[in-house]
Structures are given as C-alpha cells and as structure tokens.
Structure 1
Amino acid sequence: MPFSPVDMLALSVFIVAWYGYTVFARRKAKTTDCIARSLHQHRIHWMYEVISREVRVSEAALLANLERNIAFFASSTLLILAGLFTLFAKVETLEVVISSLPFAAEVNHLAIQLKLSLLAFIFVLSFFQFTWSMRQYGFLNVMIGATPFDLSGSNENLTAYAKQMAIVQDQAAHSYNYGLRSYYFALAAMCWFFHPFLLIFMSLWVVYTLFTREFNSKAVKAITTAQSLLHQERQLRDEKTPGV
C-alpha cells in the first residue's frame, strides 16, 4: 500500500475537517452573527439603495472590483494547476528532496503521485468555485441593469426584487468564499508531503483560523454593529417617508 495507517488517519482528519467545517459554518451562520450573515444584510441594504439611485456608476465600479479580485484567483489557480501537472514529471526529484529532509516521513513514488493528485483535485474545485462566482456576479450586473428607478421605496415588487438581487450576490460571495477556503486547505494538504501528523495539525489549525475569522474576529463585530446601525437608519427613513 502507498499509505501507512497514519497516512490514512491524517487523510481522514483532513476530509472530516474540511467537510465538517463547511457544514458547521453553513448551519451556524443561520443563527449566529458572523461575516456571512451580516454581509447578507448589508447586501440587502445595498440593493435597496440601488433601486433609489437613478445613476448607478458606483455599483458598476464596486462590482467590477469584486470581479477583478475573483478573476485574479481564477487565473492564479490555472497557473498552480500547470505547476502541479509539471511536478508529475519530476516525481523522482521530488522524492529525493523530501527524503533528504530530517523530519520527513518515508515516502514512495506512488504516494507522491497520489498526494499531487489530491492537490490538483482541490485546485480544480477552487477554479470551478471562482468561475461560478464570476458568472453569478455577471447575473447580478444584468439584474441591476434591469432595475427600474423608484425613489419612494414603497413599491413592494421592487423591494422583493432587491432581495432577490441580494440573494444572487450572496450566492456569488459564497462561491468566492468556498474557493478561498480551498486555498487554505490546499496549504494544509501540502504538509502531507512531509509528515502525516503535520497534515493533521495544519487541518485543525486551518479550521481554527477560519472559525476565528468568520465568527469571532474584530471585523465580524464591526460589520455586525454596522448592520444594526443601517437597519435602524432605514427604519427611521421609512417612518419619515410619506406613503410608506
């Protein structure tokens, strides 16, 4: 077998950590203040404002900036995949380099190929996530372009339409986040080349880092507070607007 029992344990921890955190974060975001939950509310406020703006140059600039960021990661992922496929032709050299490290576990030709395949699979997944995110932002551009102008804010159809635009933007952001998360776990998977225990440690460390940043960071607290302020401001504005 190319892998030892410790390798299989490390791979199992890696898969459970990634899949488990994805499910946990998705469920917890429905009931707990976090980046995903708070930004969703911000997107709703943003789309409400889009309806009341006759000139939407700022939206075009903001969305173009978001798409450029995603395009950067998508193109970078292709370069990484090209590098990984090149390494398949250099497995012997890679085996010698890893074996020369004093702390590295024993490796063999097939194990290195399988580990490279795992990395390639992760980056293929991330590429699909990034490109799907770009497409969804394109859909959002079309929806914004089709949005009628309504200064009163009393049109229920347009209010519901704004929420649907926020949902599309939310899904695009989720795909982008999943792509970035793939990068985090790919860095953990790279550690498997050196030692399975290092893969276990890095998998758990990535989960801890993601949880801290998405649920318990200063950015989360600031965004949540800002969302509450926006909600209060919108309520005051609605009370002052005639016919609402």
Structure 2
Amino acid sequence: MGDFSLLDLAAVAVFLTAWIGYSVAVERLSGSGGSLNRMMNRYRHAWAEQLELRENRVVDTTINASLQNGTAFFASTSLIALGSVLTLTRSADDVLTLFGTLPFGTQTTRTTWEFKVAGLALLFVYAFFKFAWAYRLFNYGAILIGAVPPRGSDEETIRRAARRAARMNVVAGAHFNRGQRAWFFALAYLGWFVSPYVLFVTTLAVVYVMWQRQFASEACRALQEPDDD
C-alpha cells in the first residue's frame, strides 16, 4: 500500500463507508419505511393478495418473466463491463498519460493503476453475482406462483402459498437492488482514476442521487397516498 497516499486511503474509506452506510440505511433501519424499495415491497405483497383471487394466473407468470428478463440483462451487461475493465490493464501506459493530463488528475504508478482496475473489476463481479442470484430467485418465484393452489381450494393454504411467493419475490428484488447499487457506486469509483478528490465528489454525488430517488423522487411520490386533490 506504499504507492497510495493518505488522501487515497481516506477517499476509499469514505467510498466504502458511504456504500455500506447507505445500504444499511435503506435496507435495515426502520425509518426507511418510506423508501421506494420498501413501498414496492408492500406492492409485491399486494400482488400476492390479487394472486389469491385469480383463477387464471397467466398475468402473474408474465410479470415474473419480465422481472427475470430485466435481471438477465443486467447480469450479462455486468459480464461485458467486467471484460471491458480487464482490457484496461493492457493499455495502462497510454491511459496513465491521459489521466495525468486531466485538470484534477494526479500522477499514478502502474501498480496503483492496476490496483484500481482490480477494485473496479471486483465491483462488477459483485454486481454479476447479485444479478445472477436474483435471476435464480425470480425463477424460484415462478415455481412458487405455479404452486399456489387453484381457487376453490382451502383458503388458508392458498394464502400461505401466495405469501410465500411474495416473500421470495421480495428477496429477489433485494438482491437485484444490491446489484444496481453496485453499478451506481462503480460510477462513483471511476472518480478515483482521476484523483482522490474526484472520488470524494463522485461518491457524495451518487449517494445524493440514490437517496433522492429513494425518498424524494416523483416515483416515490406516485406510490404515496394522494392528498386532497
């Protein structure tokens, strides 16, 4: 770690703290009940309640398939991004010269550059595993939807099966959200290639954008109970 300055280490510490702190705030704290993710989870359970009432559940399997397809897209894109990141190691000298000429750029050694590239690659590996697991869970969710007994069966059995499918969908959605979060923080991480100062700024900018989308966006307001209109 001798090639890294204290400012580099501080920037990385802020980056990791922001990622972990934001994740805990959105997923774990009770005060995050008004977040977009939490509200959508409630609608996942509402979907399950409608599932109990439907005789023909083709629409439910179609919705689940659309969720799977979106997850598969991000999983494959993560692999493409990972391959692109790994190619950066082959043109290190040219890229180092380019970044050194940027207004806020700093001189970087080849070892430092390769370490930064490895960190970016790990972000996309993490994202791929999250998306791949979410895809598998949505697949399990499709099976659970198919396992919901038809109308006319015991109501309690139908209710339990539908709620089980909803819980699986919630878990799958959580892993999908973590994969997307890794993508957003990968964008922030790119600032470190320029300088640690830029990493500070990009990290704060990404956290602000994600927080705004979770708690103060038009999408969030659209799910809230309307006031007197």
Identify the TM-score tier after normalising by the shorter chain. Answer: over 0.9
Q: Which of 35-44 and 216-225 deviates more? A: 216-225
Name the amino acid aligned to 1:176: F
| Contact 1:98-1:194 at 8 Å conserved across structures | yes
* Counterpart Cα distance in 2 of 1:29 and 1:129: 24
Match of 1:155 in 2: 155
Deviating above 6 A after TM superposition, structure 1's stretches of 4 or more consecutive aligned residues are none
Name the amino acid aligned to 1:208: Y
1:90 to partner: Cα distance: 1.4
1:80 to partner: Cα distance: 0.8
| Contact 1:29-1:37 at 8 Å conserved across structures | no
User: Does residue 1:68 correspond to 2:69, yes or no?
Assistant: yes
| Contact 2:93-2:110 at 8 Å conserved across structures | yes
Match of 2:167 in 1: 167
| Contact 1:29-1:36 at 8 Å conserved across structures | no
| Contact 2:26-2:35 at 8 Å conserved across structures | no
* Counterpart Cα distance in 2 of 1:111 and 1:169: 41
Indicate the SS of the match to 1:225. coil
* Counterpart Cα distance in 2 of 1:35 and 1:161: 26
| Contact 2:116-2:193 at 8 Å conserved across structures | yes
Indicate the SS of the match to 2:163. helix
* Counterpart Cα distance in 2 of 1:147 and 1:26: 28
Match of 1:187 in 2: 187
CA-atom RMSD in angstroms? 1.7
1:29 to partner: Cα distance: 5.3
Match of 2:48 in 1: 47
Indicate the SS of the match to 2:20. helix
1:81 to partner: Cα distance: 0.8
Q: Which of 78-87 and 22-31 deviates more? A: 22-31
Indicate the SS of the match to 1:157. helix
Change in Cα spacing, 1:30 to 1:145, as seen in structure 2 (3 Å) is farther
Match of 1:100 in 2: 101
Deviations along 1:140-177, one digit per CA (max 9) or x if unpaired, are 0001111111269x712322222221111001111111
Name the amino acid aligned to 1:54: E
Match of 1:239 in 2: none
| Contact 2:144-2:164 at 8 Å conserved across structures | no
1:3 to partner: Cα distance: 0.9
1:30 to partner: Cα distance: 6.0
Match of 1:238 in 2: none
* Counterpart Cα distance in 2 of 1:101 and 1:159: 60
Name the amino acid aligned to 2:14: V
Unaligned regions of 5+ residues in structure 1, if any? 227-244
Unaligned regions of 5+ residues in structure 2, if any? none
User: Of the two, which has the highest radius of gyration?
Assistant: 1
| Contact 1:95-1:107 at 8 Å conserved across structures | yes
* Counterpart Cα distance in 1 of 2:75 and 2:119: 18
| Contact 2:44-2:170 at 8 Å conserved across structures | yes
Bigger relative contact order (CA 8 A; separation at least 6) = 1
**Equivalences, count:** 225
1:207 to partner: Cα distance: 1.1
Q: TM-score, normalised by structure 2?
A: 0.92
Change in Cα spacing, 1:157 to 1:30, as seen in structure 2 (3 Å) is farther
Indicate the SS of the match to 2:148. coil
